[in-house]
Chains A and B, each alone.
Chain A
Amino acid sequence: MANHTATTIDICKADELQPGDRRIVEVDGRKVGVFNSAGELYAIEDRCSHDDGPLAEGPFDPERRTVECPRHGSLFDLTTGRPKTLPAYLPVDTFDVHVEDGVVKLEVR
């Protein structure tokens, strides 16, 4: 969005985030989960929109590209940030994540 400045940070070396791995990082006071699903990287806000509890530490299904809220079980689509099951119904933010020069880089707006 135009009124936000993007911050790009290095997460780790690309080979330190293998398929099925995840990292939770903090950027400008916001927590973000970075996931490797079968070689594809996804980054999603570490906050369940149901009750604002942590999200990214929940069960991660690399095949279905989902993470499940550890508190009440809403399943979030890592590709869109949208919940696939209740009780959450609002999407959470997703972020651009890519590999550049062998380093995983996360762009947070």
Chain B
Amino acid sequence: MATPEVAAATPDQLKGIKEAYEYGFHDPENYAFKSEKGLSRSVVEGISSHKDEPQWMRDFRVKALEHFEQHPMPKWAGGMMDTVDFQNIHYFVRASEKQGRSWDEVPADIKKTFDRLGIPEAERKYLAGVGAQYESEVVYHQIREDLEKQGVIFLDMDSGLREHEDIVREYWATVIPPNDNKLAALNSAVWSGGSFVYVPPGVHVEMPLQAYFRINTENMGQFERTLIIADEGSFVHYIEGCTAPQYTTDSLHSAVVEIVAKPGARVRYTTIQNWSHNVYNLVTKRAIAHEAATMEWIDGNLGSKLTCKYPSIYLMGPEAHGEVLSIAFAGRGQHQDAGGKAIHVAPKTTSTITSKSISKDGGRASYRGLLEIAPGARESKSKVVCDALLLDEESRSDTYPTIRIGEDNVDVGHEATVSKIGEEQLFYLMSRGLSEEEASGMIVGGFIEPFTRELPMEYAVEMNRLIELQMEGSIG
């Protein structure tokens, strides 16, 4: 398959990128409902009541809250997760009473926010469907009619549960059970919004489906829940983006994403995470790939205060293939604890995990990964590559790779590099007329090129803009 060309950002597109975090604005609150701060059984049951859910989902939430209370806090990210104050969070904020099928039906101030983020324009140009979540719920949702006619379901998760309860119940929490970990338990208790995608056998959704997540309120918790089922031989590309205002106090984003790729299906899940630097981003993402299925996580982490995210793939059927391609950019005050996991259960399965991290201004980036080959997964192959780029002396990069191999006849490789921007590289580029900042930016751009070249062109341009923004002021 030909690699798509990636366009460089034009000067016009780069205009304004020096203005710090450009998505840090916030709107006045004019909400239909906002829960009090804190987590309790009554908050959890209140969410279920607001959504008029079936009893089994209400019971699921209550049980999940018990798991959350019983589970210890994970020790990932050097204990930094202990600083999350779960009682200082609003767990449910309903921004609008109804969801729009056209942008004109979305409340004016919220629509203005998405206009500023460029979502309606992107939808017109190159997307097959869009879901826009504002606070706890999806305020706009639309899918192209031709896909709907082919039986493709793309709904917000709340509507998915209402309209397709049987399918949802069959797969719900089978990939990530509520007591898998403390954050999965929290999401299971208070989940709201997210996407439900079902692609029928043999259907290829050629243009991406996009979900956009926006937090507006201070001390807000956003807990979307996404379930994607790609039936046999189908294909879908799902893209998510996220931003929030810059506040002095912290917000929490804790999603659960479950994906099932049935035999011969291919799912690509792309994330451009650009939360403001006051958001804890603690996410559980996991996929099952059945026989000859392909699962790809393309995961870009630029924003947030702390991100803990390790997208994983369970290769359950013979000849299934998994890819995790992740980049993390950790600037001042940021900790990106990212990585990926591939678990080979069936024979002749293959995987690649490529992780690239950039740290600057004292930022900390970690790769935390797992490669596991179960007994019986003979003739499986996997390659793990972790590259770290440190831009100054005060920044930090750590690698925590775990490899477990329970089968003899396999092929496993692991490579790791840590590098700094070399004086010679800078000198060479500056001798061609570039400033030191431009030269550094170009080196960083080249370093993450394996990631940007996998993005649709419009996103690659956006990604380059974000990297330039992150690089701003990095010299001297």
A residues contacting B by CB (< 8 A) are 68, 70-75, 84-87, 89-90
Contact = CB atoms under 8 A, between A and B. Distances in A.
Nearest to A50: B180
Contacts of B374: 89-90
B180 A73 contact: yes
A85 B173 contact: yes
B179 A86 contact: no
A85 B288 CA distance: 10
Contacts of A73: 67, 173, 177-180
A70 B178 CA distance: 11
Residue of B179, B181, B374 with highest tally of chain A CB at under 10 A: B179
B345 interface: yes
B174 A72 contact: no
Dominant SS among interface residues on chain B: loop
Nearest to A68: B177
B229 interface: no
B314 A71 contact: no
B343 interface: yes
Given A73-B178, A75-B177, A89-B374, 14 more contacts: A71-B179, A72-B179, A73-B67, A73-B173, A73-B177, A84-B174, A85-B173, A85-B174, A86-B175, A86-B176, A86-B180, A86-B314, A87-B180, A90-B374
23 contacts: A68-B177, A71-B179, A72-B179, A72-B180, A72-B181, A73-B173, A73-B178, A73-B179, A73-B180, A75-B174, A84-B174, A85-B174, A85-B175, A86-B175, A86-B176, A86-B177, A86-B288, A86-B314, A87-B177, A89-B345, A89-B374, A90-B345, A90-B375
Interface in B333-360: 343, 345
A1 B201 CA distance: 41
B316 interface: yes
A85 B314 contact: no
Contacts of A87: 177, 180
A72 B183 CA distance: 12
Contact of B177 (A74, A89, A90): A74
A87 B340 CA distance: 15
Nearest to A84: B174
| Smallest CB-CB A-B distances: 7 pairs | A73-B177, A73-B179, A85-B174, A89-B345, A72-B180, A85-B177, A86-B175
A84 B316 CA distance: 12
B381 interface: no
A86 to B, nearest CB: 6
Contacts of B177: 68, 72-75, 85-87
B184 to A, nearest CB: 8
Interface of B: 67, 173-181, 286, 288, 314, 316, 343, 345, 374-375
A15 to B, nearest CB: 31
B286 A86 contact: yes
A89 to B, nearest CB: 5
A74 B174 CA distance: 8
A67 to B, nearest CB: 13
Nearest to B177: A73
A100 B10 CA distance: 82
A68 B180 CA distance: 11
Contacts of B314: 86, 89
Nearest to B178: A73
B180 A89 contact: no
Nearest to A49: B374
Contacts of A71: 179
B168 to A, nearest CB: 15
A76 B343 CA distance: 19
Contacts of A86: 174-177, 180, 286, 288, 314
A73 B181 CA distance: 9
Contacts of B343: 89
A70 B179 CA distance: 8
B160 to A, nearest CB: 19
Contacts of A70: 179
Contacts of A74: 177
A82 to B, nearest CB: 12
A42 to B, nearest CB: 21
Contacts of B316: 89
Nearest to B315: A89
Nearest to A71: B179
A91 to B, nearest CB: 11
Contacts of A85: 173-175, 177
